[in-house]
Amino acid sequence: MGREPLLDAAEASGLLHLHVKQVQKLAREGRLPARRVGRKWLFSRADLEKQLGLEAPQTGADFLDGLSARNRLRGTVTALAVDGLMAEVRVRIGEQELVSVITRSSAERLGLKVGVEVCAVIKSTEVMIAREGRL
């Protein structure tokens, strides 16, 4: 965890949208990268973002800069079920799986298939799927 800024458990809980006690439990279990200093847990923001799949794209530019939605989770398509006009997309994000239902034409336009890296964009109750270079 080098010299990057560290977060305390309360700050990490805000980033992860978890209760602070849950964050501490996950750290104790070794399921979150953290270090203990005295009675305090410290977390690297970069390590937490990496685990959430929030790493910056390899191109160095955020291909979703033009969107108002800020909840973006990078992941990999693990399953794609196309039926009629709709497609169910399952995306692995860290140790979690997210499911989104989108139109068949959107799935085809994005070139979605198992193993493709995507970005789940969450705004309010909607989950959208994006793919670098396909907007």
- pLDDT per position as a tens digit, 12-63: 888 887 888 988 998 898 888 899 998 899 998 888 877 776 554 444 345 5
What percent of the chain is predicted at pLDDT more than 70? 79
CATH class of 71-130: mainly beta
Task: Tell me: pLDDT of 65 over 80.
Answer: no
Domain locations in the chain? 6-52, 71-130
Give the Cα separation of 109 and 42 in Å (integer): 42
Q: For residue 111, what pLDDT band results from cuts at 50, 70 and 90?
A: very high
Give every strand in the sheet of 35-37, ordered side by side.
6-8, 40-44, 35-37
pTM confidence score = 0.49
Give the Cα separation of 97 and 114 in Å (integer): 13
Q: What are phi and psi of 121, to 5 degrees?
A: -110, 120
